[in-house]
Every structure is written in structure tokens, then in C-alpha cells.
């Protein structure tokens, strides 16, 4: 899993940095897998992920991020 994650982060990081002219690094060095305990925990994790582009200043609303599932009923 670590090799797959590293490869994915390398590819997407370079692409996003180039596309948006962002400073390096784009991703944190490591990743943390997490067991989702229940529906509430899933909701919290989903909201955290959806808010990342907002917190990064890339969009004003999570729904504006073109690769987001924010606002999509699941």
C-alpha cells in the first residue's frame, strides 16, 4: 500500500503543482490510514476531505472544487 500511495501522491502532486503553479511540497511526506468506525465518523472524514481545497484557498466553497463530491448526495 505504501508504494501505491507514494506513486499516486507523486503523480498527482506534480500535476497539481504545475496546473495551479503552487509551491512544493503539495502532499505531506507520509499518509495515515484510518478505520472508519461508524456513519458519524464517515461523515466527519468526508467533510474534512471536502473542506481541504477550501482551507488551502483554492476555492471558496467545497462544491466549487471540480474533483469534489461535496454537495453530491451519497
**Rg of the chain, C-alpha, whole Å:** 14
Q: Where are the beta strands (DSSP E) in the chain?
A: none
- 50 and 68 share a domain? yes
- pLDDT category at 68 given cuts 50, 70, 90 is confident
Domain hosting 44: range is 34-74
Find the Cα–Cα–Cα–Cα dihedral 15, 5, 63, 70, rounded to 10°. Answer: 160
Domain count along the chain: 2
Give the model confidence (pLDDT) of 8-28 as tens digits.
999 999 999 999 999 988 888
pTM for the model stands at 0.56
- 40 and 73 share a domain? yes
Terminal-to-terminal C-alpha distance of the chain: 26
Amino acid at each position: 500500500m505504501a508504494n501505491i500511495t507514494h506513486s499516486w501522491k507523486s503523480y498527482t502532486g506534480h500535476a497539481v503543482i504545475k496546473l495551479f503553479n503552487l509551491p512544493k511540497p503539495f502532499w505531506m511526506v507520509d499518509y495515515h490510514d484510518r478505520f472508519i468506525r461508524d456513519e458519524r465518523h464517515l461523515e466527519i472524514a468526508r467533510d474534512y476531505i471536502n473542506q481541504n481545497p477550501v482551507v488551502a484557498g483554492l476555492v471558496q466553497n467545497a462544491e466549487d472544487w471540480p474533483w469534489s463530491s461535496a454537495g453530491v448526495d451519497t
